[in-house]
Amino acid sequence: MIQIGDTLISEDILKTCFACDLSKCKGMCCVEGDAGAPLAQEEYEAIQEALPEIWDDLSQEARELIEKQGIAYIDDDGELVTSIIEGRECVFTYFDAEGICRCAIDHAFREGRISVQKPVSCHLYPIRLHQYNGFTALNYDRWSVCSPALKSGKKTGIKLYQFLKEPLIRKFGEEWYEELCLAAEQLA
């Protein structure tokens, strides 16, 4: 483990080659799994506020579920997570012409229609954050649906922390990310 401030970072994040290949995995991390994406309370409120702007981008099933259950629920671990349709895809997903699962929140944000970004837990995936005794632990969540990303990362030489530069800076800041890069150089 590497420590930067009050964060503990698994060395796997610095050593593992990883670069999403949506043409191969089709965005299945937003479809498969046993719960929705973890949400901070502030994210829940911001997404709830932006919901009218993305409502028409959502599937009929998603709109019906949101009307019945809301955009999120408390999962078996006691975490606030995005609602999921029939135990599968997140309510904020849609499928593009190539059959790739995409995020309606992210799409609307990148178009400038809303100011809220997709949940940081989604943006950081496959890094998962866990709170332990005043520390935030960053761990690499290994999952078979990401095997194309491992192949792509090996091919390009991109490490997981490099691939996730934007969300890591979003969550922890530029200075923190620079320290992470230095730690990665020392491990190499």
**Cα dist from 188 to 9, 12, 36, 163, 179, whole Å:** 15, 12, 35, 17, 14
* Mean pLDDT of each 10-residue bin along the chain, 188 residues long: 94 95 87 85 96 96 96 92 91 92 95 95 93 93 90 95 97 97 90
Q: What is the pLDDT of residue 161?
A: 97
Q: What is the pLDDT of residue 76?
A: 87
Q: 126 preceded by cis ω (within 30°)?
A: yes
Q: What is the pLDDT of residue 20?
A: 92
Q: What is the pLDDT of residue 5?
A: 93
Q: What is the pLDDT of residue 36?
A: 87
**Cα dist from 52 to 3, 27, 85, 114, whole Å:** 41, 24, 19, 10
Burial class (CB in 10 A: 0-12, 13-18, 19+), 164: buried
Q: What is the pLDDT of residue 187?
A: 84
Q: What is the pLDDT of residue 11?
A: 95
Q: What is the pLDDT of residue 63?
A: 96
Tell me 128's DSSP state. Answer: E
pTM over 0.85: yes
Q: What is the pLDDT of residue 46?
A: 96
